[in-house]
Chain A
């Protein structure tokens, strides 16, 4: 399977704990995106990378959030000192900069529940 994969699919944690999500994009894609989606809402942009460079960050991405893509392949999204408001689905998507259509390919998401 060469689609976007995310791990873990589900994470339940207690408030104040740190969590980390991993995303493996489609192998030839050099752009990688993180979105957050709450129940009944559309995905909200968090950040994106082109290769290993983080090109844009949303104001939604507070200081407790950090994303990395150290070798331009997989990416991690870490949330420190989790709060109940962080409960959401975290979606990863990838695309090819050379692709003229701009389509994003999504993973199945990582669902976070903060108790």
Chain B
């Protein structure tokens, strides 16, 4: 079975500080994709960042970066210079070989002004 685990139900960060959200996954596949999605309250899920498993280089999108450790099956999200608009549920997701996407339970991020 392929599962995604987010061990932090809630996280809090001070505005302008850095926070890291954790994610581990379980798979027997060698080729897959990993994602972080953001879901603001009562709003739709939007993609934050993606990582292809065959790429060793960690993905970066502006203030968002990942630490991808393939052997450890770990995929953490770092948010730098946190902003009030970053407050949301963050979901780690995994998709093997272009099949269906599986999600973790999510981490609720609060940003304190």
Contact surface of A with B, Cβ cutoff 8 Å: 33, 35, 40-45, 48, 56, 91, 93, 97, 101-104, 106-109
B100 within 8 A of A: yes
Q: Mark B26-60, 1 if CB is under 8 A from A, else 0.
A: 00000001010100000111110010100000000
Kindly state the separation between the CA atoms of A102 and B31 in the bound complex, as whole angstroms: 12
Cβ-defined contact, A102 with B95, below 8 A: yes
Cβ-defined contact, A107 with B44, below 8 A: yes
Q: How many residues of B contact A (CB 8 A)?
A: 23
Cβ-defined contact, A40 with B106, below 8 A: yes
Specify which of B37, B47, B98, B100 lies most central, judged by the most chain A CB atoms within 10 Å of its CB. B100
Contact surface of B with A, Cβ cutoff 8 Å: 4, 6, 33, 35, 37, 43-47, 50, 52, 91, 95, 98-106
Cβ-defined contact, A91 with B45, below 8 A: yes
Cβ-defined contact, A101 with B105, below 8 A: no
The listed residue (B46, B50, B52, B103) touching A43 by CB distance below 8 A is: B103
Given contacts A97-B98, A102-B33, 15 further A-B contacts (CB under 8 A): A33-B101, A40-B106, A41-B106, A42-B91, A42-B105, A43-B103, A44-B103, A45-B100, A56-B99, A101-B52, A102-B101, A103-B50, A104-B101, A106-B46, A109-B44
The answer to whether residues A101 and B102 also contact, given A108-B44, A109-B44 and a CB cut-off of 8 A, is: no
The 30 sampled A-B contact pairs (Cβ below 8 Å) are: A35-B103, A40-B105, A40-B106, A41-B105, A41-B106, A42-B6, A42-B91, A42-B104, A42-B105, A42-B106, A43-B45, A44-B103, A48-B100, A93-B45, A93-B101, A97-B98, A101-B50, A101-B52, A102-B33, A102-B35, A102-B95, A102-B101, A103-B50, A104-B95, A106-B45, A106-B46, A107-B44, A108-B43, A108-B44, A109-B44
